[in-house]
Structure 1
């Protein structure tokens, strides 16, 4: 006879999470390959070409004015309300919160801080590069243009390149960058491309950006994603530093974390072998064994046995005694009558 104790729902959740390795072996960290270097150099040259075309007031500036006078928001007013909400997918605050929530769950599940640190590094690079370009070129937007046909450069504006577009490329593209499988990377790359294209064209529709602002925003965001492998050593050092700070804090607080060498399974002592373990366990050992998530959780469908419940075989009859009943095989004595 064997009795087993059932796991609680929270224990089953932790048992499922314990099946994930501390750093999954199938996740490849991107490296700065020759192909990526060529793409980075090509995108950088395209970035410089767009800036030069706007500075010299070329055909690209004339196209900007033509799109501006076309006023797409007046041509298709029925989609204006929808696009007002859709453009939020390019704002830094809401998108950063959504992506950080997803990457935070992945970090907790995989026991690594790399997704969150990579997101922080990419957003930091986005703020530095795009913010510096905006302030340095100071271009005014379509609603604040001062002279028809001019490039509106160095007039105190902050729209060149488009921050919404670059942010959409980085925040949604980081999901593809951190994907664990090639198939997931392809799907997430397509999703990020649709998001960034849609957000960029929506800003042109609403009249908040020139078309050249959006094109430069696409290039600016792509440059950050292509340059991220150069920062992987920094991400690794940052993760190691965070874990070292955590361990030092635990040491100051006196918190002991069970290691694989000292962690015991349910019902066994860390200082005794199974042969030396007594048949029964004390209440203290039972509570400690239940608080530690043992390797037995890794076996699906099995539950650890409760050491505090020892099967007992009942002895004798389970029927309660009755004073008015006689044992079987005996004949009651007949009453004696006179005569």
Structure 2
């Protein structure tokens, strides 16, 4: 008697919206174009105008509200939260797969945000009013390698990029947890989790003078690009070594989050 073999699903990239790679190319082109413009000393007037307006309209109460809200973009707590949620879902479903999104997201952010900050070496607007007390015009240009690194890591905004990536991962894992419990996924809530925190972080980090407006825009472009790459990965179908617990294919991440 002939043995029948199971038909294996073809591993395919997950769909994202807007569909197609053209939007990814547009985000990358925007990031490159913005960096080139700043390297050519362009857009400084916009950055300075926004920073000056924020400084002139920053009463104590508004400052502290913005500072608290800006905590939504702290990379380390978000990483730990996503990792913890991934482990929780992994234990619940007895599969290693829920741990994969936080690990890959960490690698994506670690290999992009930090190196870009080191390479571009741009001070923050606040560098003129606190250490290293640069002249206002000296805080705007990129590639200031003579300024100590801890004072020249403003571009792109890591808070904004991290918020987009990590809240996207959290939304993915929350949806997976709900599916494992047999509960419906509230798509409006998932979308709110993915959209509202990054927007709040973008506004507050610029308002507080911790980043130039163009730093925040660059973080937005980079974060969206990384988020689209992460959501393209077919987490349910990625081939894994058989010795890993729960290496078989699942249906945790099948629906769009």
TM-score calculated relative to the size of structure 1: 0.56
C-alpha contact 1:176 1:184 (8 A) present in aligned 2: no
Q: CA deviation at 1:127?
A: 1.0
Superposition pairs of residues 1-339 of structure 1, within 5 angstroms: 31=14, 35-58=19-42, 60-72=43-55, 74-145=57-128, 146-149=134-137, 151-156=140-145, 157-178=152-173, 179-180=175-176, 184-228=186-230, 231-232=233-234, 236-237=238-239, 240-241=240-241, 244=243
TM-aligned CA distance change 1:227 to 1:98, over 3 Å: same
**Structure 1 Cα separation of the partners of residues 189 and 245 of structure 2:** 36
Instruction: Give the 4+ runs in structure 1 shifted more than 6 A.
Output: none
Q: CA deviation at 1:109?
A: 2.2
Q: Which has the higher contact order (CA 8 A, sep 6+)?
A: 2
Q: CA deviation at 1:106?
A: 2.1
Q: How many residue pairs are counted as aligned between the two chains?
A: 216
- CA deviations on 1:57-108 (whole Å, 9 max, x unpaired) are 22x3211111222234753321222322222221111112222222322222
Bigger drift between 156-165 and 72-81 goes to 72-81
**Structure 1 Cα separation of the partners of residues 195 and 41 of structure 2:** 29
Q: Which segments of 5 or more consecutive residues in structure 1 lack a partner in the other structure? A: 1-27, 248-339
SS at match of 1:75: coil
Q: CA deviation at 1:231?
A: 4.9
TM-aligned CA distance change 1:43 to 1:90, over 3 Å: same
Q: CA deviation at 1:129?
A: 0.9
Q: Which segments of 5 or more consecutive residues in structure 2 lack a partner in the other structure? A: 1-10, 129-133, 146-151, 247-257
Q: CA deviation at 1:232?
A: 4.3
Q: CA deviation at 1:113?
A: 2.3
Q: Select the structure of larger CA radius of gyration.
A: 1
Q: CA deviation at 1:40?
A: 1.0
TM-aligned CA distance change 1:222 to 1:177, over 3 Å: farther
